Structure 1
Amino acid sequence: MNSSSVFKIIPGIQSYDWGKVGKLSKAAAFAEVSIPGFQVEDKPYAELWMGTHEQAPAYLANDPSSKLSHYLQRNPQLVGDQVKQAFKETTCDGGLPFLFKVLAIEKALSVQAHPNKRLAEQLHKDRPDVYKDSNHKPEMAIALTEFKGFCGFRPKEQIVHFLDSVKEFRAFVEEKDVQDLKTASLDKEIKDALKRVFSGVMSAPQDKIAELTKAIVSRYTSQTHEDIAGDSIYAVRQLVLTLNDQFPGDIGIFCTFLLNVVQLKPGESVFLKADDPHAYIAGDIMECMATSNNVVRAGLTPKLRDVNTLVDMLTYETAPADAQLMKTTSLKGAAHTIVYDPPIEEFSVARVQLSRGESTKHDALNGPSILAVVDGTGLVENQGQSETMKTGDVLFVGAGAGIKIKSSSSSSLEVYRAFVQV
């Protein structure tokens, strides 16, 4: 068994139809390194789960029959007293407050939101067959490659512009609701009007969705590039057509006119608050979230849709796309390390980038963390012991363990570290 506070773990791999296929998937490529006996097949691999969630729990690399959660339950000092006290519900059975993932996205995920804590408890109580836990699920996405996703509502002016210029979109909305949104100036007025607009779109009958989807796809397909040259509608048109190819006749296609399309470069990130609509569209990301799998869906999915709950739960806050991006800070006392620190308690994520032969020291934290190596080779040291690392390796670091991360003399090193610090 492990005597160290730093050791390798075996993550879980998830195959969903929106994932990238075979070795094109970073989730699969990493799994080939970190999961003993795993062989990549010609099928989509969507997510690599690094944590204690029972749907795909991590195991100990040096004892593959032992779950990480069982080991942490027997060794609570690795989670830390302060974290156990702050997150009693998730840590009582050896669980971690956060779940770390690698996502490889070929097709759009469902238009969705995650319920806040109060709503999560109510949904779990009322419909435990659908909402299987009572936790909230704020999450953060950090781009590993160029990434595109829906995130939050567009500014009012943009939505009004599309209502005026896209007749198929406007046909879903009552004329009074269109005018109310146009004339709304106070924050509450805008939110109330936007809720009615969104409800009109997402609650439309299937025959109307089919008719209007067919109409907009036909119109956009017949347009030439010259028809729309220099028009901001070009990128929107392309996204509508792409989403229709992936989910023919789905109402989620019209979310293109309601939700921000956020584009991230590698290393850029976005934080998705509870009750905010979003959908990942394409790219590879590191994702960190509170340990939960609560999702309320309403479009771009064959899964169960709960439109009424989604319409009622959203905050209807509006902001430009670039306002969704997170700022980073430096990790105190640590070279070559930046931190993505969302406004919640459950997790933060650090990114370490080392050139050949470089190193950095991270002081001890009062909570646990998970390291994921996304590129290069090196090692991590703790109290005279060391673990080698290469692309795809996943390691656990216990509370109270200061570490030194070093790249090899022949390779640079990039590591993401999800952690909780109370």
Structure 2
Amino acid sequence: MAKIELNSMGVDDSGIVKLRCSVKNYDWGKLGKESTVARLYASNSGEEQIEDDHAYAEFWMGTHESGSSYAILVEADEVVTNGDSEEEGGSKRNGCGLVSLKDWIGKNPSVLGDKVLRKWGANLPFLFKVLSVAKVLSIQAHPDKNLAEVLHKQQPGVYRDDNHKPEMALALTEFEALCGFISLEELKSVLHNVPEIIEVVGSAYAEEILQASEQDGEKRLKEILQSLFTGLMSVSNAVISEVISKLTSRLNLKREVRELTEKEELVLRLEKQHPGDIGVIAAFLFNYVKLKSGEALYLGANEPHAYIAGECVECMATSDNVVRAGLTPKNRDVQTLCSMLTYKQGFPKILSGVPSNPYTMKYIPPFDEFEVDRCILPQETSTILPPSPGPSIFMVLSGNGKISTESSEELITEGTVLFTPANTEVNIATISGLHLYRAGVNSSFFNETVISSSIQQHEK
């Protein structure tokens, strides 16, 4: 039998490594073959069977322990590890030698590039996903680095790592989300038109909002909004259940005499998915965002959001920390969520991408850990992605073709996921057409590093 010692697993710095990736079957995911996640996972894993009654929610690509990817190194009968379990190093699946990507990077840290290694250590700084959303996800926010460290120390079973989690969602289909608080003027309109909110929080909170103006200053406006939101989210389940019943009855009667607004229709959809949930009313306070395919939304730490429906590519810092407070049967931490939010108001910025070649759009959020390229190649075309100083993960959404570097080549098709080391030029070619995505460390991180180094040299 072929044996591989984990400690001796080296790599050609310009080579390509194929990855076996993880799936999450959360109940909000799309069912069976309707789910892009299901199709990608089936192709990637070689498990062609897709269960029609199973929800396939997330396809994970990266090193986070909650859903680690595995490097496919050789065709082998056995993998010898430093431990006794798969989690401690390697495994044998379908005749392939598999080692967790995190362990493999730990043995080959040069694949990350010097700047990434110095900043984040021997680990991928980003986590790459595909989401197939059939039902709304929870109203949630992700903690900043300092809060993540505190929460992880206090509740390691709930907050499983100590990292922050800025993220970006890039729509594959029309993608609906709630994101950030509506403007002050919109909020006043909501209070005039949704009496149930005043019934829950009381007229004093509502009057503060109605009397507020931009001249009050940003700090004061945030304090007023925080008081209103905290009051709403903290009300008892019995009160909320009764008020939501009134709300739905009122909206259904309104529908008979006028067309409901998009937000009102959304609230009725959410109520069917989560009857009696405070998040149904809270939705009135958030921006309702509809992304078209190719548009992206980024979310910094401590910003409230909830994905509603559609499919997207998602990229984030390597973390799985989520603070929830509504539209979910999972653990809720209302006090933490209400205290951590920024309470910024206004519609979020939408990214349309910047062309980096005729077939590729680059999406660069204001976070060091990641950026995403969207590459759509027509039939019988090719393109070159120049070397990045950091590592990359490529995911093929559809089509087929090949990816090659100076020293290696891989045939690619739907569900193929590849890791390429830092400083690797990548050539992508197709015959029938190809749609793929690349996640990598943000280009601005390397530019800032170069500028910073130049300043230090000048000061010396």
Tell me the residue number matched to 2:55: 44
Alignment of 1:130-149 (within 5 A): 130-149=158-177
Alignment of 1:158-197 (within 5 A): 158-184=186-212, 185=214, 186-197=217-228
Tell me the residue number matched to 2:232: 201
For the residues of structure 2 that align with 1:163 and 1:224, how far apart are their CA atoms?
A: 19
Q: Which amino acid aligns with 1:87?
A: W
For the residues of structure 2 that align with 1:345 and 1:397, how far apart are their CA atoms?
A: 19
Q: Which amino acid aligns with 1:165?
A: N
Over 4 Å off, 4+ runs: 1-4
Tell me the residue number matched to 2:87: none
Query: Deviation of residue 391 (structure 1)?
Result: 1.6
Once the two structures are superposed, what CA deviation does each residue of 1:124-176 show, in whole Å capped at 9, x if it has no partner? 22222321211000000000011100111111111111111111122122322
1:55 aligns with 2:55: no
Once the two structures are superposed, what CA deviation does each residue of 1:196-216 show, in whole Å capped at 9, x if it has no partner? 111111111111101101111
For the residues of structure 2 that align with 1:117 and 1:236, how far apart are their CA atoms?
A: 33
Q: Larger radius of gyration, structure 1 or 2?
A: 2
Tell me the residue number matched to 1:97: 125
1:254 aligns with 2:318: no
Tell me the residue number matched to 1:414: 435
Tell me the residue number matched to 2:250: 219
Give the gaps of 5 or more residues in structure 2.
1-8, 75-95, 447-460
1:269 aligns with one of 283, 296, 316: 296
1:10–1:64 contact (8 Å) kept in structure 2:
no
Per the alignment, in what secondary structure is the counterpart of residue 199 of structure 1? helix
For the residues of structure 2 that align with 1:64 and 1:189, how far apart are their CA atoms?
A: 59
Query: Deviation of residue 384 (structure 1)?
Result: 4.8
For the residues of structure 2 that align with 1:164 and 1:223, how far apart are their CA atoms?
A: 15
1:6 aligns with 2:16: yes
1:30 aligns with 2:53: no
1:120 aligns with one of 148, 152, 155: 148
Query: Deviation of residue 255 (structure 1)?
Result: 2.1
Per the alignment, in what secondary structure is the counterpart of residue 194 of structure 1? helix
Per the alignment, in what secondary structure is the counterpart of residue 228 of structure 1? coil
1:378–1:388 contact (8 Å) kept in structure 2:
yes
2:15–2:407 contact (8 Å) kept in structure 1:
no
1:228 aligns with one of 258, 264, 268: 258
TM-score, normalised to structure 1's length?
0.93
1:328 aligns with 2:353: yes
2:15–2:408 contact (8 Å) kept in structure 1:
no
2:382 aligns with one of 348, 352, 359: 359
Tell me the residue number matched to 2:324: 297
TM-score, normalised to structure 2's length?
0.86
RMSD after superposition: 1.5
Query: Deviation of residue 307 (structure 1)?
Result: 0.4
For the residues of structure 1 that align with 2:333 and 2:303, how far apart are their CA atoms?
A: 15
Once the two structures are superposed, what CA deviation does each residue of 1:198-242 show, in whole Å capped at 9, x if it has no partner? 1111111111101101111122223335x223xxx4212211111
Once the two structures are superposed, what CA deviation does each residue of 1:174-208 show, in whole Å capped at 9, x if it has no partner? 32222222232221221111111111111111111
2:402–2:429 contact (8 Å) kept in structure 1:
yes
Q: Which amino acid aligns with 1:414?
A: H
Query: Deviation of residue 263 (structure 1)?
Result: 0.2
Q: Which amino acid aligns with 1:205?
A: S
Per the alignment, in what secondary structure is the counterpart of residue 201 of structure 2? coil
Alignment of 1:270-289 (within 5 A): 270-289=297-316
1:151–1:324 contact (8 Å) kept in structure 2:
no
Q: Which amino acid aligns with 2:384?
A: K
1:7–1:387 contact (8 Å) kept in structure 2:
no
Q: How many residues align?
A: 407
Tell me the residue number matched to 1:76: 109
Q: Which amino acid aligns with 1:346?
A: E
Tell me the residue number matched to 2:120: 87
